[in-house]
Amino acid sequence: MKAFRTLVKLYLDSIFRVSVMRYSKESRERKNAVMGVVAIGLIVVTYGGMSGTTSYQMLKAGVDPAVPFLMIATMASLFALAMAFAQGGATLSGFADFDTLMGMPIPISLIVLARFFALYSVEALYCAAYLLPCGVVYTVLCSPAWWFWPVFLVALLLLPVVPVVIGSGADLLLSAAFAKSKYKKGVTSAIKMILLLGFVVFAYMFPQISSSFIAAPEKAVSAVSRIYPPAQWFAKGVTGVPLHALLFCFGSAVLCALFVLILDRSFLRLHDRLTAGYHVKNYRLGALRRSGTLKALFLIERKRFFGSTAWVVNTVIGSVLIAVLGVVGAALSKTVIPFLKAVPVTGIAPIAITGMLIFCATISPTTSCAISMEGKQIWIAKTLPVSAKRWLSAKLLMNLALVGPSLLLAITLLSIAYRSMLTAVDVLGVVAAPIAALLFSTVFGLYVNAKMPRLDWKSDTEIVKQSGAVLVMVLIGFGLVAVSVLPALVFGLRWLTPLIAATLFCLTAGVYGTMMKNAEQIRLNL
């Protein structure tokens, strides 16, 4: 048990970086670790507030108490499934320390169990954020029997098991299936991005889903129960049906034991399969291609980006959402325009279009972790016979090339589709504000990452999910939406949006000029 506790502690420490916060002598590393924990805290608070508010509204409306538990348990399970599929395989099959672990007197089963428990613990934290507020609201409004909390807490601890097993198992199978393919990174990144996009769309529709649960609870409960029966067992079990509680707990425990046993038996074969590389057959050296310095650096940056599944999944979703927003918004314009005209707000169409485009374009720029992704190979960038300005410019171009085309497409389609509701000033704001916000987030993201780099990572997921620069840019993305939309929304002055866009252009120019002026010093300080 001591070895198990030690392994779990090490794996959790690598996720939450507690040792870095406590013992690191570098203030920059401590700040990055703290910002990662703050990011997790914000996620927990956001989900808790959402589930608490939703369950309060449903119980106040007289809905059966099992209904809010069913809906929120399903939402929590979907989130755990998406997160386990996105990074569960990397946690369970991370082989960076394989040689060290295999040389220790530790059974493989203990290593597998410790890794699964570490992954489960993180997902259990998110599930608790969803369900605990719901349990508190249910206790206050419905005064359940004394046994509610013991049963609820046991069921809550077991809730992440099924989605973690399904998600991480699917990730492992996908990685093993394409392990020897040269398209492994592209295929796995695309599939994970589609799943994450589906979860984002589902989360966006959460208010409409909760309304349907209130309006027609029987139909909604029947639909969810057919798709994901464990959520129904959980909901009925915690609200007073012992058989469902036993079925949920027993089923989750058996599934967990079977998954760990299968993973234990196949761990070494899985290592051999996932560490096998792709080798080109009949390789021939052809003509060497030449590129300019900036183009060559951009191609390196592009290869590094698409070579990181976590980076792609975390970043490309904004660009995809912009394209979907533009195409779907334009296609449904005849349906949406009457709805917007009924809203008693001056200039609601340009405000809504501008806000959504800015949010999608700025929420996660690639530049917020572009420098950190250099990692321990940063010495190569420092010794390259190229100017630091070009090195930084290539990282800026990567984000602009990724988001820019879809943003221009969406602006064009939406401006044409909603032209009947836009004045000339509105069109100027719809065009200028998202572009200005994209340029600002791109430049400022790189500036923040230069100030808060993290080069000692062992997994790229640490950079994409937990670094301080990424969290700062997420908050700035929300701030850009508020700054660009709220003044026009509150004061009803349509010319404020173009004015704010002009201000953002000036700020971008100032930050870019400062960064390029000190480019060499920035690179040397890394």
Domain ranges of the chain: 2-10+27-274, 293-525
pLDDT of residue 204: 56
**pLDDT reading at 258 higher than 80:** yes
**Per-residue confidence band for 244, with pLDDT thresholds at 50, 70 and 90:** confident
* Percentage of the chain lying above the pLDDT 90 cut: 9
Compute the distance between CA of residue 376 and CA of residue 56 in angstroms, rounded to an integer: 49
**pLDDT reading at 150 higher than 80:** yes
pTM of the model: 0.63
Q: Based on C-alpha coordinates, what's the Rg of the chain?
A: 25
pLDDT, greater one: 115 or 208? 115
Compute the distance between CA of residue 358 and CA of residue 362 in angstroms, rounded to an integer: 6
Place of tokens 């959504």: 356
**pLDDT reading at 362 higher than 80:** yes
pLDDT, greater one: 107 or 94? 107
pLDDT, greater one: 217 or 313? 313
Q: Summarize the confidence of residues 241-259 as an average pLDDT.
A: 87
**Per-residue confidence band for 507, with pLDDT thresholds at 50, 70 and 90:** very high
Please write the tens of the pLDDT for every residue from 400-452. 999 999 999 999 998 888 888 888 888 888 899 999 999 999 999 999 988 88
**pLDDT reading at 506 higher than 90:** yes
Please write the tens of the pLDDT for every residue from 327-357. 888 888 888 788 777 766 677 888 888 888 8
Please write the tens of the pLDDT for every residue from 37-78. 777 777 778 777 878 888 888 888 778 888 888 888 888 888
**pLDDT reading at 207 higher than 80:** no
**pLDDT reading at 288 higher than 60:** no
Compute the distance between CA of residue 8 and CA of residue 124 in angstroms, rounded to an integer: 15
**pLDDT reading at 290 higher than 70:** no
Compute the distance between CA of residue 471 and CA of residue 329 in angstroms, rounded to an integer: 29
DSSP 463-493: HHHH-HHHHHHHHHHHHHHHHHHHHHHHH--
Q: Which residues of 156-178 are buried (b: 16+ CB within 10 A; e: fewer)?
A: bebbbbbbbbbbbbbbbebbbeb
What does residue 267 show for φ and ψ, rounded to 5 degrees? -65, -45
* Percentage of the chain lying above the pLDDT 70 cut: 84
Q: Summarize the confidence of residues 455-459 as an average pLDDT.
A: 77
Question: What letter does residue 386 receive in the DSSP assignment?
Answer: S
- What's the burial of 291, exposed, middle or buried (CB within 10 Å: 0-12/13-18/19+)? exposed
**Residue count of the chain:** 526
Both structure tokens of 3: 């070895």
From the DSSP assignment, how many helices (H) and strands (E) are in the chain? Answer: 25, 0
* Least confident window among 174-183, 289-298, 402-411: 174-183
Nearest to 438 by CA among 499, 366, 361, 353: 361
Nearest to 443 by CA among 507, 502, 512, 394: 512
Q: Summarize the confidence of residues 260-289 as an average pLDDT.
A: 68
Please write the tens of the pLDDT for every residue from 8-29. 777 777 777 777 777 777 776 7
Compute the distance between CA of residue 342 and CA of residue 347 in angstroms, rounded to an integer: 12
**pLDDT reading at 286 higher than 70:** no
**pLDDT reading at 220 higher than 70:** no
pLDDT of residue 443: 93
Highest mean pLDDT, choosing among 157-161, 180-184, 274-278: 157-161
Query: Is 480:441 a contact under the CB 8 Å cutoff?
Result: yes
Compute the distance between CA of residue 47 and CA of residue 129 in angstroms, rounded to an integer: 6
Q: Summarize the confidence of residues 186-206 as an average pLDDT.
A: 65
Compute the distance between CA of residue 108 and CA of residue 111 in angstroms, rounded to an integer: 5
Compute the distance between CA of residue 171 and CA of residue 90 in angstroms, rounded to an integer: 8
Query: Is 366:399 a contact under the CB 8 Å cutoff?
Result: yes
pLDDT of residue 359: 87
Both structure tokens of 272: 């051999």
Directed axis angle between helix 468-491 and helix 424-451, to 10°?
160
At residue 24's C-alpha, the angle toward residues 20 and 30, to 5°, is 60
Nearest to 171 by CA among 274, 95, 301: 274
* Least confident window among 212-226, 252-266, 275-289, 388-402: 275-289
Query: Is 192:85 a contact under the CB 8 Å cutoff?
Result: yes
Both structure tokens of 489: 């929304």
pLDDT of residue 400: 92
Nearest to 79 by CA among 132, 155, 131: 131
Tell me the average pLDDT of the chain.
Answer: 80
